[in-house]
Amino acid sequence: MAGKRGGNRHQKQSSGGIRGMLGRLSVAVVVLFICTLSLYSTIKGTTSTSRSEIRVDELWSPAAAQGWRPSSAPRSDWPPPPIETNGYLRVRCNGGLNQQRSTICNAVLAARIMNATLVLPELDANSFWHDDSGFKGLYDVEHFIKALRYDVKIVERLPETSSKGKSKKMKAFQIRPPRDAPISWYTTDALQKMKEHGAIYLTPFSHRLAEEIDNPEYQRLRCRVNPSV
Ligand SMILES: *[C@@H]1O[C@H](CO)[C@@H](O)[C@H](O)[C@H]1NC(C)=O
């Protein structure tokens, strides 16, 4: 009996404790709710003001309007391409439309890695397209070059070289890159040939740069390039 009564009392006490706790909990919930609301409105307020101060949208809108993705701006120190180039990089993009597109992204990245000047990538006129309009027919070249001016230098064609008063077209040394070549291949083998010859021609170039690259800025550059057609 005594034990039962004791148990009852204990139950009462604990249920009273639960009620008290619930009360405190609901107060906490209300406070939390109010805090969240005010925090939310502050955040909303600050983002809209800082947006209008920096004008991020305006900065990127000319490129965006032309179909170049405004996303993936560099988030850390990202110097402009060096004034002195290590040479010229020519690539031939092969494969279907999507493949060629991602290959253009890789070409820009490869040029950046090598401090090279990129020659407008060559597209394959192939059975997928029934079309030989090339890069200029598909993309806005001027915008391609301008949108990426802080990333790489891009030229429409190899420059003329002159020797003994005669000018002739520069010739690019042709290399078949290993499949999914790592960045180190570009900074060693490829770079060496580029310095030797002044220009290299990587063909074929689809899947010739590793997908996985342990550098977020390089990944961001790849995204930044991605043109929409
Ligand atoms: C490219 O240039 C940057 C900055 O000028 C330098 O740090 C880097 O080592 C260069 N890379 C190559 C491959 O020349």
pLDDT tens column, 67-93: 454 557 888 889 999 999 999 999 999
Q: Both 128 and 31 in a single domain?
A: no
pLDDT tens per residue across span 127-186: 455 666 678 877 888 989 998 999 999 999 999 988 788 888 899 999 999 999 999 999
Q: Give the DSSP H or E segment for 127.
A: none
Q: Both 93 and 161 in a single domain?
A: yes
* 3-state DSSP percent of the chain in helix, strand and coil, to 5: 50, 15, 35
Q: Both 96 and 6 in a single domain?
A: no
- Boundaries of domain holding 183: 78-225
The percentage of residues in the chain with a pLDDT greater than 90, rounded to a whole number, is: 39
- Is residue 215 domain-resident? yes
Mean pLDDT across the chain, nearest whole number? 78
Q: Which residues line ligand 1 (CB under 6 A)?
A: 82, 86, 114-115, 187, 191
What's the length of the chain? 229
Q: Give the DSSP H or E segment for 210.
A: none
Predicted local confidence at residue 79, as pLDDT: 92
Distance (Å) from CA 190 to ligand 1 centroid: 14
Beta-carbon neighbour count of residue 103 at 10 Å?
24
Q: At what angle do helices 216-225 and 97-114 cross, to 10 degrees?
A: 130
Structure tokens at 123: 């597209």
- pTM > 0.85: no
Would you give the distance in Å from CA 125 to the centre of its chain?
27
Q: How confident is the model at residue 18 (pLDDT cuts 50, 70, 90)?
A: low
Nearest CA to ligand 1 atom 1: 115
CB 203 within 8 A of CB 174: yes
Which atom of ligand 1 approaches the CA of 115 most closely? 1
Q: Both 111 and 214 in a single domain?
A: yes
